Amino acid sequence: MPIKDSFLTERQKRVLELRMQGYTQERIAKMLNTSRVNVSVIEKRAHQNIDKARATLMEWEQIQSLVSISIEQDTDVMDIPRIIFNEADRTGIKIHENTLDIITQIHENIPGVIEHRRVKRPFVVFINRNGEISFD
């Protein structure tokens, strides 16, 4: 079922679907009666549109957030959940995740930011009014 007002054109969706099915750009070009270079451009623009949509959603989550917490470089990863819980308690927000969930989210959402239990580069944690956490 097509989604109205998508950031992706029908052609971009078709190219992405075919790529996910394992077709090469060359094969897709033959199927769509176009050049491989054109397929490459279509695919690149589709990924740019997807990245913009993700960034827009992240920005919206941050706008809705009541709390932002800066996590400094060299912070012990085990201290981060406590910092988040303390700030949430201070503002009357109930966090739905536990310590392990928070650490897992950091590893999944900000790959490479933790090394040997230490934060390699600063990042920001956002907490929205529903107690959901996101990262910048």
Whole-angstrom CA distances from 134 to 21, 24, 28, 76, 90 are 32, 35, 37, 19, 18
Average pLDDT, rounded, for the chain:
92
113-120 mean pLDDT: 95
47-63 mean pLDDT: 85
**pLDDT, tens digit (0-9, with 9 covering 90-100), for 35-51:** 999 999 999 999 999 99
Q: Is the pLDDT of residue 65 over 70?
A: no
Burial 90-104 (b: 16+ CB within 10 A, else e): eeebebebeeeebbe
**pLDDT, tens digit (0-9, with 9 covering 90-100), for 4-44:** 788 999 999 999 999 999 999 999 999 999 999 999 999 99
User: Which H or E element spans position 89?
Assistant: helix 79-91
- pLDDT at res. 2: 61
Q: Is the pLDDT of residue 1 over 60?
A: no
CA pseudo-torsion sign 35, 41, 44, 50 = negative
Q: Is the pLDDT of residue 91 over 60?
A: yes
User: Which H or E element spans position 88?
Assistant: helix 79-91
Cα(21)–Cα(116) distance, rounded to whole angstroms? 38
CA pseudo-torsion sign 22, 28, 30, 36 = negative
- pLDDT at res. 93: 93
